[in-house]
Each structure stands twice: as structure tokens, then as C-alpha cells.
Amino acid sequence: MTVRCDIEIPEKVVRTLGLRESEISEMLKKELSAYFFERNLLSFGQARQFAGLSVWDFLGFLRERKIPLHYDLAEYDEDLKTIMELS
């Protein structure tokens, strides 16, 4: 299921940004995904999907904004368990 959210942006702002409507939508999705990830409201995977980026592109996007990854002991244990199951 997808929820659509319409945001009204004044034409002057759009002209100032020099972006097309589709570019503004993509930019807002990426910025919101980083915001939600940074505040632990979305996981990395959820935020990446929301941004519409690959794992590597989202990592680069977060790095550009100096947003650290959240990686705790529980996630490490889960990753280690997955690695052990795959090997």
C-alpha cells in the first residue's frame, strides 16, 4: 500500500531551486528518509527503500550528510547468525 502526500510549494521556491517537479519529489523523499533514519524512526532498509536508492547510493547519501549508521550489538548478533547460517 502506498500513501500519497501532496505538498504545496510556492512557484517562486520552485524557480529558485531550479528543479523540475519530479526532481523536487525525489529530493524530498531522500531528505525525509535521511531525517527519519537519523532519528531512528526508520531502519536503514526502510529509509533506503523510501528514498528509492540502492544500498550503496543510500550509504553515500548518508555519508554526504554526515549521518552515522546505527549498528548496535543486537544487529551485530543478528548479522553474525545470518553469516553462520549461510556458511
Domain spans of the chain? 11-86
pLDDT at 76: 81
Q: Name the residue with higher pLDDT: 2 or 51.
A: 51
| Residue 28 region by backbone torsions, left for phi larger than 0, else alpha for psi between -120 and 50, else beta | alpha
pLDDT at 32: 96
Q: How confident is the model at residue 28 (pLDDT cuts 50, 70, 90)?
A: very high
Question: How high is the pLDDT of residue 64?
Answer: 97
Mean pLDDT score across all residues of the chain: 90
